[in-house]
């Protein structure tokens, strides 16, 4: 849209929902700027977006398609604006991200709302800013601010950037008036208008800064090509302007065609897709204003914090005053810590806590629109709790269990209203982990499912629909992966070999370090419960059980797979563990041999891929990409590898199939070999 305010042309970016700079918007902007520049009555130009977005940057769906090369490409559009013979001012509201912020950087002036969010999140897509951001931002805001924004990908508000040199003015409201005034002021000052490229950086200072920052890259950042590329682009900002732009473009195009960026862009859309119920299940969610949480332990308190942060009223129910007090204390301490860390205003924290109603009175449940049970992971206990919920919750309330393994249908059978029951599997710590598995029971009604998904979004989670099968999606895959890693111990690897190989692949932690951290007794208790029904023909690795029998329960007892001093994990396993493993190999009749890191990685990934295919075939997962979202968000799978399904799709299919048959043979009885075509076709 193009309208006149006196002698200033106001050009509105209007490409819902977030003004992504697709071909159509780029062409509209170029034409509108040309029209204003050639109109003698016009003395200045203001670009505006809308409340939600100035612009969310390049249209990610165009990458790698001909649309991306439709002129003007973003760089050409920005060059046109920067060279405009009339001052162009960006009025920043909502988000200005990626190419959206770069568009503003190419303008001659920038005015922002205090609440505007300015960022260069390209790193989340395995990219660097590709339209001058690495060249203009350090010149306007300095090297440190520029690298912080580019490396973290996190937006900063107009208020936070008020003194950065990036913005001419930051206002609380009436953004347009301020922008019009800025354009008029620049017009009266006359050409040439201020440009980022008018400023230069001290080459020595830049090189020194880049060297220091390169040394600080973490191991996981070093695995991702874009982090080094950011520093290379910043380094180029010390030199000739055009050469710097060319170098940035080269680096950007290299990254864009890389598998890491393709994987990250895949995840960007997969996450958004995961939050949409399949057509067959779409329904209007029920309204939720008040949530009741049964159980104020770590999980219950964490869920309560999520709900309070989302503005909901929360009834927190415990069985006795002492347990309730401990739960309340968890919530209070959380808010105190956030206020002390400057991450939350005291007034906001007080308002959140004011919405908390701690109680031991089950009758309070009548006020809840949705009830979440977060009690001990035992079916009998959950049955008892759901009988009480059924007796006290109002008709139409949604009843959710936070179980991570138990049968949601079995839990629902304790009520008279199984159609109102679903699983909401939060991941610990619940107020930090974004993943939420929304479990559909056999009788769960569509609007209850929709309510679970909507609540997930309200709590700023990533809700993923799953069927009611043992372990749902995440734990089912994790169990298969961990079982394969235990096989590798018998085949010849030590725990540190497996953990090291998987961390080298990009996993946050290997399976044995994870087991020690969470406590081996959790798995041990489950294994003992399953022992009676376990098929003796199946390959079962008893090393974990033997460790537990020796009191080695993991980090909390100073020893598990590894031993621990007060401050750290001893990286190599001790003689006790190695003897246990060697004896296990001997009992199995396996001559031990060293496994290479690539072999360990491939076997672990194959186990995940096989289980992913089974989950899809069984209808537990409704989309292949949902599985990748779960593994990345809940289990530390490297996002830049896309997930096990994305990884499988990059492999040679014949080799993948052949290696999976080998895996099945090594696993022996009970291993269900999946048909990979459900994932790969
Ligand atoms: N391109 C295409 N579609 C986008 C998009 C984008 N940049 N941003 C959002 N969408 C779609 C999204 O898929 C969803 O679609 C809808 O908008 C609402 O999004 C040259 C190369 C802006 C903070 O990385 O962070 O610029 O599912 O559900 O929670 O150097 O979207 O409804 O069909 O996320 O309110 C850099 C990515 C691009 C910003 C809004 N920019 N977007 O969050 O809604 S690379 C980004 C976001 C670049 C330059 C480089 C968020 C948001 P649908 P949503 P939201």
Atom number, ligand 1, closest to the C-alpha of residue 127: 21
pLDDT tens figures, 597-628: 999 999 999 999 999 999 999 999 999 999 99
What is the arithmetic mean of pLDDT over 324-333?
Answer: 96
Q: How confident is the model at residue 588 (pLDDT cuts 50, 70, 90)?
A: very high
The Å distance, Cα 17 to ligand 1 centre, comes to 9
Tokens of 192: 């040439």
Strand partners, 463: 436
pLDDT above 80 (res 1): no
Is the CB–ligand 1 distance for residue 271 below 6 Å?
no
What is the arithmetic mean of pLDDT over 622-640?
Answer: 96
The Å distance, Cα 76 to ligand 1 centre, comes to 22
The Å distance, Cα 100 to ligand 1 centre, comes to 11
Is the CB–ligand 1 distance for residue 272 below 6 Å?
yes
pLDDT tens figures, 191-245: 899 999 999 999 999 999 999 999 999 999 999 999 999 999 999 999 999 999 9
Is the CB–ligand 1 distance for residue 126 below 6 Å?
no
Which residue has the least CA distance to atom 54 on ligand 1? 272
Tokens of 602: 């491939």
pLDDT above 80 (res 567): no
The Å distance, Cα 353 to ligand 1 centre, comes to 33
Is the CB–ligand 1 distance for residue 107 below 6 Å?
no
For residue 280, the model assigns a pLDDT of 82
Q: Catalytic site residue 599?
A: no
Global model pTM greater than 0.85: yes
How is 106-131 classified by DSSP, letter by letter? HSSEEEEETT-EEE-GGGGGT----S
First CA to last CA distance, the chain:
44
The Å distance, Cα 348 to ligand 1 centre, comes to 28
Atom number, ligand 1, closest to the C-alpha of residue 133: 30
Distance from C-alpha of 470 to C-alpha of 464, rounded to nearest angstrom:
16
Identify whether the C-beta of residue 544 lies closer than 8 Å to the C-beta of residue 528: no
Which residue has the least CA distance to atom 51 on ligand 1? 56
What is the arithmetic mean of pLDDT over 88-98?
Answer: 98
pLDDT above 90 (res 522): no
Among 3, 62, 71, 122, the active-site one is 122
Is the CB–ligand 1 distance for residue 255 below 6 Å?
no
Which residue has the least CA distance to atom 43 on ligand 1? 18
Q: Which of 57, 122, 125 to mutate to test the pocket of ligand 1 (most atoms within 8 A of CB)?
A: 57
- Sequence-ordered list of residues with C-beta below 8 angstroms from that of 595, at least 6 positions apart, any chain: 488, 491, 492, 493, 497, 501, 603
For residue 530, the model assigns a pLDDT of 87
Largest CA distance in the chain: 91
The Å distance, Cα 268 to ligand 1 centre, comes to 8
Quote the mean pLDDT of the chain. 95
The Å distance, Cα 145 to ligand 1 centre, comes to 23
Identify whether the C-beta of residue 399 lies closer than 8 Å to the C-beta of residue 415: yes
Q: Catalytic site residue 284?
A: no
Is the CB–ligand 1 distance for residue 102 below 6 Å?
yes
For residue 177, the model assigns a pLDDT of 97
Atom number, ligand 1, closest to the C-alpha of residue 269: 13
For residue 278, the model assigns a pLDDT of 86
pLDDT tens figures, 171-183: 999 999 999 999 9
For residue 571, the model assigns a pLDDT of 83
The Å distance, Cα 62 to ligand 1 centre, comes to 12
The Å distance, Cα 52 to ligand 1 centre, comes to 12
Could you tell me the strand order of the sheet in which 156-157 lies? 53-55, 95-97, 117-119, 156-157
Q: How confident is the model at residue 681 (pLDDT cuts 50, 70, 90)?
A: confident
Distance from C-alpha of 512 to C-alpha of 503, rounded to nearest angstrom:
11
Strand partners, 9: 4, 45
Is the CB–ligand 1 distance for residue 125 below 6 Å?
yes
Which residue has the least CA distance to atom 52 on ligand 1? 56
Distance from C-alpha of 153 to C-alpha of 19, rounded to nearest angstrom:
19
pLDDT above 90 (res 120): yes
Cα 14 to chain centroid distance, Å, stands at 28
Which residue has the least CA distance to atom 47 on ligand 1? 56
Atom number, ligand 1, closest to the C-alpha of residue 130: 30
pLDDT above 90 (res 670): no
For residue 650, the model assigns a pLDDT of 95
For residue 159, the model assigns a pLDDT of 95
Among 102, 486, 496, 611, the active-site one is 102
Is the CB–ligand 1 distance for residue 56 below 6 Å?
yes
Is the CB–ligand 1 distance for residue 68 below 6 Å?
no
Strand partners, 467: 440
Q: Which residue has the tokens 């009834």?
A: 315
For residue 162, the model assigns a pLDDT of 96
Is the CB–ligand 1 distance for residue 133 below 6 Å?
yes
Domains, the chain: 2-256 (3.90.226.10), 279-468 (3.40.50.720), 475-680 (1.10.1040.50)
What is the arithmetic mean of pLDDT over 15-33?
Answer: 96
């Amino acid at each position: 849209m193009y309208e006149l305010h006196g002698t200033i042309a106001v050009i509105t970016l209007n490409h819902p929902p977030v003004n992504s700079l697709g071909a159509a918007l780029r062409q509209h902007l170029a034409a509108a700027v040309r029209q204003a520049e050639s109109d003698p009555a016009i003395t200045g130009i203001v670009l505006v977006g809308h409340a939600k977005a100035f612009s969310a940057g390049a249209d990610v769906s165009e990458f790698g398609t001909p649309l991306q090369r439709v002129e003007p490409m973003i760089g050409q559009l920005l060059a046109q604006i920067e060279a405009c013979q009339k001052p162009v001012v960006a009025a920043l509201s909502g988000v200005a991200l990626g190419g959206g912020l770069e568009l503003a950087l190419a303008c001659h002036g920038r005015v922002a709302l205090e609440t505007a969010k300015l960022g260069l999140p390209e790193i989340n897509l395995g990219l660097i800013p590709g339209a001058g951001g690495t060249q203009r931002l350090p010149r306007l805001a300095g090297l440190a601010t520029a690298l912080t924004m580019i490396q973290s990908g996190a937006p900063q508000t107009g208020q936070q950037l008020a003194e950065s040199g990036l913005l001419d003015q930051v206002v609380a409201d009436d953004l347009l008036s301020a922008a019009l005034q800025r354009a008029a002021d620049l017009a009266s000052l006359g050409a040439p208008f201020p440009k980022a490229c008018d400023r230069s950086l001290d080459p020595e200072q830049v090189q020194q800064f880049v060297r220091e920052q390169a040394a600080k890259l973490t191991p996981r950042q070093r695995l991702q090509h874009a982090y080094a590329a950011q520093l290379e682009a910043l380094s180029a900002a010390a030199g000739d302007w055009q050469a710097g732009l060319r170098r940035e473009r080269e680096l950007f195009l290299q990254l864009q065609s890389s598998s890491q960026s393709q994987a990250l862009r895949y995840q960007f859309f997969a996450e958004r897709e995961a939050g949409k119920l399949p057509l067959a299940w779409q329904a209007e969610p029920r309204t939720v204003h008040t949530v009741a949480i049964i159980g104020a332990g770590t999980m219950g308190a964490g869920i309560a914090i999520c709900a309070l942060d989302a503005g909901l009223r929360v009834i927190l129910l415990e069985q006795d005053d002492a347990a309730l007090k401990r739960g309340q204390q968890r919530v209070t301490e959380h808010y105190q810590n956030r206020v002390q860390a400057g991450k939350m205003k005291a007034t906001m924290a007080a308002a959140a806590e004011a919405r908390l109603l701690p109680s031991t009175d089950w009758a309070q449940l009548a006020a809840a629109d949705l009830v979440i049970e977060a009690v001990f992971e035992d079916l009998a206990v959950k049955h008892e709790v759901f009988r009480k919920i059924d007796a006290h919750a109002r008709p139409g309330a949604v009843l959710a269990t936070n179980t991570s393994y138990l049968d949601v249908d079995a839990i629902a059978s304790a009520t008279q209203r199984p159609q109102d029951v679903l699983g909401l599997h939060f991941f610990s710590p619940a107020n930090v982990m974004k993943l939420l598995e929304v479990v559909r029971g056999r009788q769960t009604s569509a609007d209850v499912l929709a309510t679970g998904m909507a609540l997930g979004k309200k709590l700023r989670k990533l809700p993923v629909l799953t069927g009611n099968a043992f372990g749902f999606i995440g734990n089912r895959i994790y169990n298969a992966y961990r079982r394969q890693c235990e096989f590798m111990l018998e085949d010849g690897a030590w725990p540190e070999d497996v953990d090291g190989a998987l961390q080298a692949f990009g996993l946050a932690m290997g399976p044995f370090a994870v087991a020690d951290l969470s406590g081996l007794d959790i798995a041990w208790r489950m294994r003992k419960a399953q022992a009676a029904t376990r098929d003796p023909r199946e390959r079962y690795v008893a090393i974990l059980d033997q460790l537990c029998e020796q009191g080695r329960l993991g980090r909390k007892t100073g020893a598990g797979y590894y031993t621990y001093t007060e401050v750290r994990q001893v990286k190599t396993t001790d003689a006790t563990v190695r003897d246990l493993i060697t004896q296990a190999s001997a009992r199995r009749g396996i001559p031990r041999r060293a496994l290479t890191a690539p072999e360990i990685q491939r076997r672990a990934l194959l186990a995940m891929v096989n289980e992913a295919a089974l989950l899809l075939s069984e209808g537990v997962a409704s989309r292949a990409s949902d599985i990748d979202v779960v593994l990345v968000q809940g289990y530390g799978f490297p996002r830049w590898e896309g997930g096990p399904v994305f990884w499988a799709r990059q492999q040679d299919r014949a080799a993948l199939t052949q290696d999976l048959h080998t895996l099945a043979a090594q696993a022996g009885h009970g291993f269900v070999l999946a048909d990979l075509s459900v994932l790969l076709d």
